[in-house]
Amino acid sequence: MTELKNDRFLRALLRQPVDMTPVWMMRQAGRYLPEYRATRAQAGDFMGLCTNPELACEVTLQPLDRYPQLDAAILFSDILTIPDAMGLGLYFETGEGPRFKKSVHTAADIEALPIVDPHKDLPYVVDAVSTIRRELNGRVPLIGFTGSPWTLATYMVEGGSSKDYRRTKAMLYDQPEVLHLLLEKLAISVTDYLNAQIEAGAQAVQIFDSWGGALSYNAYQEFSLRYMQKIIDGLIKEREGRQIPVILFTKGGGQWLELMAETGATTLGLDWTTDIGQARARVGDKVSLQGNMDPAVLYASPEAIRREVATILKGFGNGSGHVFNLGHGVTPHVDPAHAGAFFEAVHELSAQYHQENS
């Protein structure tokens, strides 16, 4: 494989010295970019884009071509590919978000679901990873990703997005054994899926636990963290002579950082509701941190963006172990020039915090 020209992102994840804080952005290949919208129109729809490895590669590389400051690429795909491969029939309703033609409500429904074989059931994702890795040609590392079992389960039980997770939470409290059956099946599928991405060329992986923050303290440990721990335990740890870092991101999970740091994850993602300096004090040197600017800051002026970047960098302080990111995905109405101002500010303002390494 081609040698990495920029490994700042991987080094920061592993708390190794870097010259400046690396930066990437969740959903960086997305609707805020006109070139992405043009490619998506060419594909016909979102799933047409996801299932075409060449076009998925094209949109993955678009933000890197526009923003030379980016220190990582992330696979263009969707967290719901696994439930789709289980036969639930994923589709996207305009203005409604993801929906499934079928949902699961009983033990019999769940027992009928297959374990996903990523090479047989999701070849377009595996092919996209290998295509992107080849086309990157060592520019920056490639991140693979998945949804967490709990997050995937909520979509599968609710039949799509939900604000209250009423069916899933009713199952959690009324029939915990049924929900555990689903989560176990998902954990096996997700582990195999991430390992297939690593084998195809992903150099780091992120688990998106988008809805873990909706759980109570005890339920989070039993129904979300427990299964993410199983996944981390089952992942390929090293490839091409490098460690494969694992980023664990629970949106709304700031109260559980110490528990999350015990999973063996390399890095914890933070949303914007957690102070990054306090988070660093709580987890010490067990893990690195990723985050955590409020995505809405990108609607403000470049000067305001720069001030917020400076505040977060100062909050983390000196030394490595920080990957700058938003606290959630970039939103569609952001001005692309503001995203550029964000990336420039991170590199320019962070060098002072790494002077001992320069």
Domain positions in the chain are 22-291
Paired tokens of 103:
């949902």
Give me the mean pLDDT over the 148-173 stretch: 96
The pLDDT confidence band at residue 93, using thresholds 50, 70 and 90, is: confident
Cβ atoms < 10 Å from Cβ of 312: 25
The pLDDT confidence band at residue 292, using thresholds 50, 70 and 90, is: very high
pLDDT at position 2 over 80: no
pLDDT of residue 1: 59
The pLDDT tens digits for 230-275 are 999 999 999 999 999 999 999 999 999 999 999 999 999 999 999 9
The pLDDT confidence band at residue 355, using thresholds 50, 70 and 90, is: confident
The pLDDT confidence band at residue 209, using thresholds 50, 70 and 90, is: very high
Which tops the pLDDT comparison, 358 or 116? 116
Structure pTM? Answer: 0.97
- So which residues are the catalytic ones? 27, 31, 40, 78, 155
The pLDDT confidence band at residue 357, using thresholds 50, 70 and 90, is: low
Please choose, from the candidates 49, 127, 50, 117, the residue with its C-alpha nearest in 3D space to the C-alpha of residue 85.
117
pLDDT at position 358 over 60: no
C-alpha angle 175-180-186 in degrees, rounded to nearest 5 = 135
Helix (H) or strand (E) holding 324: strand 322-326
Residues 320 and 354 sit within 8 Å (Cβ to Cβ): yes
The CATH number of the structural domain formed by 22-291 is 3.20.20.210
